Structures are given as C-alpha cells and as structure tokens.
Amino acid sequence: MRRTGIQSQEDIPSSLSLHFGWLTPVYGLQEEADEAYRDQARWTRMSIMSTAGSGYFSSDRTIRQYAEVRRKQISDDLVP
C-alpha cells in the first residue's frame, strides 16, 4: 500500500521560505497600493471604478424582493 503525506521528519521542509514565501508578493502589492494612494486623482478614480463595478449587494436584492412582496400583499388587500 502506498502512503502519502508526511511520514518522517525528513518529509518536513526546513526552509522558512517554503512556509512564508507567499508574503513577498503581498509586500509588493502593498507598495503598489501605497503608490496609488499618494496619487490622489488615481486613487479617487480607482475608488469610483471599484464602487461602480461592485454590482448589487445581497441586501439590495433582499429589500427589493421584500418590497415586491409587500406591494402584492397591499394590492391584494385593496381588491374587494
């Protein structure tokens, strides 16, 4: 039977870069965000575009559906 995964101490990576290597790209992204934030016009444009592209929030849909149900209930109550 073939065994997989960690079987012995030798199977455990000793290099911290294997564990924390994902942090390097994160630092690069933070530097890009800092640069964009310092450019007020760029940051404002990015913020507006992000908000405009976000679409409907689930609460928006829920409130709209609730309003439609209530309108139907009210119109049903008005019909004799």
C-alpha dihedral (62, 65, 69, 74), degrees to nearest 10: 100
pLDDT of residue 29: 86
Domain total of the chain = 1
- Specify if 7 maps to a domain: no
Comparing 33 with 6, which gets the higher pLDDT? 33
pLDDT digits over 15-64, tens only?
Answer: 555 666 666 777 788 889 999 999 999 999 999 998 888 776 677 788 88
- Specify if 46 maps to a domain: yes
- Specify if 4 maps to a domain: no
- For 60, the domain range is 17-78
- Specify if 9 maps to a domain: no
Angle, alpha carbons 24-29-33 (nearest 5°): 150
- Specify if 33 maps to a domain: yes
- Lowest-confidence segment of 8-12, 55-59, 64-68 by average pLDDT: 8-12
- Specify if 2 maps to a domain: no
